[in-house]
Structure 1
């Protein structure tokens, strides 16, 4: 089973935050993988539905669990096993999405070149996307379904058009803004290039897959909102069921919260928090949805505090 001493428990939590691969998890926790493998065998043939059934057998991650009576070793095993199932689910989903059932998921030379020139400055450094150019390349690319399975492991969940950036800058309207869970700070960089004043913040918990530049300040969401007191908060693809978005709706300085998220509520955001909060009105603007790529996968939500001049 997973680690039993408090020191190892905390060390393992930090290690899990670096997003280890399934192979690394299995090597470090073989007995936990044996438990997971048995559960996966029991739902074999059900595909992603079966994996969701297995995930449902676990409570929320150990740090968020309300059942503090469980021994640390049991909570640790629960967290490790849940992570193993989530990675397995992502692998199955990526295969289904990409259409590549065997071997490595990759682009052909021509399509890879076209998408690289359209979406990136160099390597995996994103650039604001030209709407017309992207539309043409996307229609021509027969391998477009491979894009997100290839870039998601690097912390990339969507691409921003130039038009989207300009629209968000207009919503910010010169106010102080903070991006929480900003990852490598790409969105903040684009907004600031268009004249906004945004500070990128992140707790650096994805250091295993995301390279954090000096421009991203190390704050968790709650600390960032308390210390920087922005009038506008921004988040792009917050993790599904995350605990930190609750901090946005109780932060007294925040007048507007802009969220770029998934059309599938299971993939991103804390939708329970969105529905429970009562101080903000939601503008679910489909006009902005179409300005995030790939098309049909993203939603842009703008929460405005009732009574605020925002």
Structure 2
């Protein structure tokens, strides 16, 4: 009886601990699952930092230490690491997403995204000169910018290079432009001369724009007679207002459906996974990238350098026609190599 009594006395305590541990694991796993689902909506840097302040403090301290050492190789390695995205399916079976390992995986992804976006903001600040605080145009600068760059509201127009060279120097608040319009998914402006040059490069070939955003570039090229379809997976709906002319398709689906000869992408996200699919399509003859010279603002440079089917180079004359020049943007053209 004593043995039985001892067991009966001890089991409730053990049972409570087990139940508590199980409950805590369930809460943690549920929280991790919800956080992972939230991450798929591409939260902004501010949203990430506010939702996970402790992780941001850790990332901030790590970045401060790296910048203080001024080691170019270390910074390059950090950029490369921050750009890596893992899917849980690559590491976890569906039945393994209820434990501590998945929770740690999600926290690691939060830190990676905070690091990536902090680095992008650093590079963007270096390009625009805006470090912090709210930014606003005064009345005169706002009127000049509106007249120069937009048809109405925030609908962009092809910018005359002649008009740009005359008006742009008059804006003493020019460094505020990109931080203001970036919030609406505008990463650059296109000159008339750039559109004409791209239209000539494309010719009459079937063209698809991937990650087209609001479809501005496709609209301009179509007005020049280019046979082009704008597509986007709508993953930036919180920032970009997608018109009906932009078909809701991810890059792979767009390439499969339209089988274009030419693909164009303006400001592809850094270290994205969709550009590599372009190099695998036998129908594609030319791929045109408009983006930043900063390798952690736009483009998957690792895939650019790893692919072997296309010869590629920057078209400097077209790069000079992307506005504003402070962005230090470029146009890179990938041309399929001719088989011997």
Q: State the TM-score bracket (shorter-chain normalisation).
A: 0.7 to 0.9
Q: Which residue number in structure 1 is paired with residue 34 of structure 2?
A: 8
Q: What whole-Å deviation, never above 9, does each CA across 1:140-191 have from its counterpart, x for those lacking one?
A: 2222222222222322111111111112112221111100111111100111
Find out whether 1:306 has 2:337 as its counterpart. yes
Give the distance between the partners of 1:62 and 1:3, measured in 2 at CA: 20
Structure possessing the higher radius of gyration over alpha carbons = 2
State the alpha-carbon separation in 2 of the partners of residues 199 and 126 from structure 1. Answer: 18
1:152 counterpart residue number = 182
Query: Which one is further off, 134-143 or 183-192?
Result: 134-143
Distance (Å, rounded) in 2 between the aligned partners of 1:304 and 1:59: 26
Q: How far apart in 2 are the matches of 1:36 and 1:277?
A: 32
Q: Using the alignment, how far apart are the partners of 1:103 and 1:48 within structure 2?
A: 28
Q: 3-state SS of the aligned residue for 1:149? A: helix
Distance 2:172 2:140 in 1: 11
Distance 2:163 2:106 in 1: 48
Q: CA deviation at 1:75?
A: 2.2
Which among 224, 227, 232 is matched to residue 194 of structure 1? 224
Higher helix share: 2
Task: Look up the match of 1:235.
Answer: 265
Matched, 1:286 2:316: yes
Please list, as runs of the form range in 1=range in 2, the aligned pairs for 1:104-253 lying within 5 A after superposition.
Answer: 104-253=134-283
Partner of 1:83: 113
Change (3 A) 1:88 1:225: same
2:9 alignment partner in structure 1: none
Moved more, 285-294 or 103-112: 103-112
Query: Structure 1: how far apart are the matches of 2:124 and 2:71?
Result: 11
Could you say if the C-alpha distance between residues 216 and 102 of structure 1 is closer, same or farther in structure 2, counting changes exceeding 3 Å?
A: closer
Q: How does 1:256-267 map to 2 (within 5 A)?
A: 256-267=286-297
Deviation at 1:283, TM superposition (A): 4.0
1:220 to partner: Cα distance: 1.1
Q: What runs of 5+ residues in structure 2 fail to find an aligned partner?
A: 1-26, 94-99
Instruction: Verify the 8 A CA contact 1:130 1:162 in the aligned structure 2.
Output: yes
TM-superposed CA distance for 1:85, in Å, is 3.1
2:215 and 2:108 map into 1 onto residues whose CA distance is: 32
* Structure 1: runs of 5 or more not aligned: none
> Counterpart of 1:272?
302
Checking the alignment, whether the CA contact within 8 Å between 2:83 and 2:116 is kept in structure 1 is no
Does residue 60 in structure 1 map to residue 84 in structure 2? yes
Contact 1:176 1:232 survives alignment (8 Å) = yes
Taking structure 1 as the reference length, the TM-score comes to 0.85
CA contact under 8 A between 2:82 and 2:116: conserved in structure 1? Answer: no
* Cα separation, partners in 2 of 1:256 and 1:77, compared to 1, 3 Å: same
User: Contact 1:48/1:89 (CA < 8 Å) preserved in 2?
Assistant: no
CA-to-aligned-CA distance 1:227-267 (integer Å, 9 cap, x gap): 21111101011111111110111112111111111122232
Aligned length in residues: 305
Change (3 A) 1:30 1:283: closer
The structure 1 residue matched to 2:55, chosen from 32, 56, 61, is: 32
Partners of 1:28 and 1:179 lie apart in 2 by 34
